[in-house]
Structure 1
Amino acid sequence: MTPLDAVQIPFVGGYDQLDLSDVMTSLSPTAIVASNDLLALGVIGALKREGLSVPGDVSVAGFDGITIGRLIDPPLTTIEMPDASMGATAASLLLDMAENAAPARHLDVAYVLRRGGTVRAI
């Protein structure tokens, strides 16, 4: 099975108003990786409103490792990144580009996968 292309899911309003019904009907994904943990929590709520279980029907992971992700049941699987060092690194790169005409470049920033219970073992 080949992975689906990334799909951007637009939403208006709060995370609690996220509607995944069209995406679930048309694509039937088995996993959703949200761009941040708050959105991942909104995805979990939307999936539950669709009558789906996490991770039984759909695995969900977030990105940034906020504390509230550890307070849900099951805890959110997420990628933790050190916010302060990520912000300082981005600011340093931007200043270098603006002040010294440095070329854009790719940097690796440390991260940790915090396994929770929202991703199914396959």
Structure 2
Amino acid sequence: MDSPKKSLHVTDHLANERTFLAWIRTAIAVMTLGVAINRFALFLMEIHQVVPEVRDLANRHVEKLGVGLVLLGLVMLVGATWHYLHVGKTIDDESYRPSSRIMVGTAIAIGLMGGSTLIWLF
């Protein structure tokens, strides 16, 4: 009786899958935050119509920030899917090399969105 063929890289593929799922959860969280900010912007516009003396100059671009976060979440989702497939292929080919550019680029994009949110808060 032959034993089933074992993949040499099972743990690597499982780690790649966990990383992919973490990126999906992060993308969902970013999109959810974008929707919440967008809905809050609608609330601010409604309150401004009811109480005209409420100033909304600082909140003028809140809706765009919410849309931007939803778009960032979608880009993260597409990028995570591409990265998952690419890493899976390179693990099988035994040619995997970590890419610091993708990680730094993602950190910069999220940092810019976070910075714009911080500016909005003040």
More helix by share: 2
* TM-score normalised to structure 1 length: 0.32
Q: Which has the higher contact order (CA 8 A, sep 6+)?
A: 2
More strand by percentage: 1
Bigger Rg, which one: 2
